[in-house]
Amino acid sequence: MTAPTTSIDYAALKSGGIIMQKDEDFYALRLRLPGGCILADLLPKIAQVAKRYGRGEIRLTVRQGIEIPWIKFKEIEAARKELAGAGLALGPCGQRFRTVTACPGLPVCRRALADSQSFALQIDRKFGGLQLPHKFKATVSACPNACSRPLENEIGFCAAVQPYMEEDACMGCGLCVDICREKALFLQNGKPQLDETRCISCADCMQSCPTDAWKTNRMGYAVYVGGKNGRHPMLGEKIADFVDEEQGMRIIERCLDFYLQYGNKRERLGETIRRVGMDEFKAAVLQ
Amino acid sequence: MTKELDLRGEVCPYTFVKTKLRLEELDSGQDLTILLDDSAATANVSRSLRNEGHEILDLKAISGEVWRIVVKKA
Ligand code: SF4
Ligand code: SF4
Ligand code: SF4
């Protein structure tokens, strides 16, 4: 085999985002788009690169990313530079902290309780691309509907608001009782009562009340760890409730420390936790 | 006389779209009575009305599934 004539930026290659296709002459470039959000102004650049270096084809990944396939080996560097020039970085692949996904959240989704996009960006900036024992996925959802699948990621954040009732403000219309899908509310003497064992902190009651009688008791993210999909899917387990972004960042950091210390090569976080023990994991992460 | 808007059988977001159109025909300070047959739609419409600055004068279930909102146009 002859050596390629273009000089490849191996540092860039190592950081990932260049994926060999079935036919070794061709590669797909993966873009780093935290939260699956991209400015419309950048779309023509992606189209241009796909047409100039690929076959005019653009693919959407299941994790909110964009990939441009059919880039010839010798042209990877030129295509990468052209994308980088427009501010489009390549997204991590392989044994790394992958691009963070997120649901639309505030201010787009009507149900949203948090700005999932900005938190995802913050996580991605700090941890995205880190080398780890195996792939590591993180996501942020802005309400318990969990649209970005926090239970199927190594670490998943899911915003929640626990309500409490200010009885004087309630006019007893019963709408919130009807709205609560968890049957966590029932009327007693004409006023709703909250069954905390059933409440999942979705805040539907708060958002439905015409007199704002429901107020915020606690709010923040629930944290799930160890979820994954693929050959042997596992659902993540909840380890914390109502954490803010700062606490969330610390939890991720300790989680990665634990994973780097105990994780075997090619072992996903959930498997490491199962092998080492959830109690040990929690003790390390929730100090 | 209060105007009435019967939205039974309508689904979101048409419930609010129709409410909005109807409110446009009213003068500021006039009342509108809205009938809906779904609690989620009732919550959605009343929330949207409040977001737009209108005042909810009354909201209640008037029979099994039927909800009635009385709103005062801002
Ligand atoms: S998780 Fe909640 S806030 Fe996020 S998109 Fe789904 S419904 Fe909207
Ligand atoms: S927060 Fe959600 S689950 Fe809890 S009482 Fe309100 S509507 Fe029901
Ligand atoms: S929706 Fe508000 S006013 Fe109506 S019963 Fe519930 S808390 Fe009371």
Q: How many CB pairs under 8 A join A and B?
A: 31
Q: Give domain A10-85's CATH number out of 3.40.50.2300, 3.90.1150.10, 3.40.50.300, 3.30.70.3340.
A: 3.30.70.3340
| pLDDT tens for chain B, residues 1 to 74 | 679 999 999 988 999 999 999 999 999 999 999 999 999 999 999 999 999 999 999 999 998 889 999 999 99
Confidence bin at A9 (pLDDT 50/70/90): low
Q: Is residue A145 less than 8 Å (CB to CB) from chain B?
A: no
- Is the domain spanning A101-285 CATH 3.30.413.10? The answer is yes
Number of domains in chain B: 1
C-beta of residue A252 within 8 angstroms of C-beta of residue A225: no
- Give, as one character, the DSSP assignment of residue B27: P
Q: How far is the CA of A171 from the centre of ligand 1 (A)?
A: 29
Residue A4 pLDDT grade (very low, low, confident, very high; cuts 50, 70, 90): very low
A177-202 per-position pLDDT tens digit: 999 999 999 999 999 999 999 999 99
Q: Could you give the CA distance from residue A234 to residue A176 in angstroms, rounded to a whole number?
A: 34
For residue A174, pLDDT beyond 90? yes
Q: Does A210 touch chain B (CB under 8 A)?
A: yes
pLDDT digits (tens, 9 = 90+) for A204-251: 999 999 999 999 999 999 999 999 999 999 999 999 999 999 999 999
Q: Where are the domains of chain A?
A: 10-85, 101-285
- Say what the ipTM of the complex is: 0.90
Whole-number Cα distances in Å, B60 to A46, B9, B25: 53, 18, 24
A174 inside 8 A of chain B by CB: yes
CA A281 to chain centre: 21
- CATH assignment of the domain containing B13: 3.30.110.40
pLDDT above 70 as % of chain A: 95
Instruction: Give the pLDDT of residue A10.
Output: 54
Looking at the CA of residue A214, tell me the nearest atom of ligand 2.
6
Find out whether the beta carbon of A177 lies less than 6 Å from any atom of ligand 2.
Answer: no
Please judge whether B47 and A175 are an interchain contact, meaning their C-beta atoms are less than 8 angstroms apart: no
Q: What is the pTM of this model?
A: 0.93
At residue A1, the pLDDT reads 42
**Nearest-by-Cβ selection for B47 from A171, A174, A207:** A207
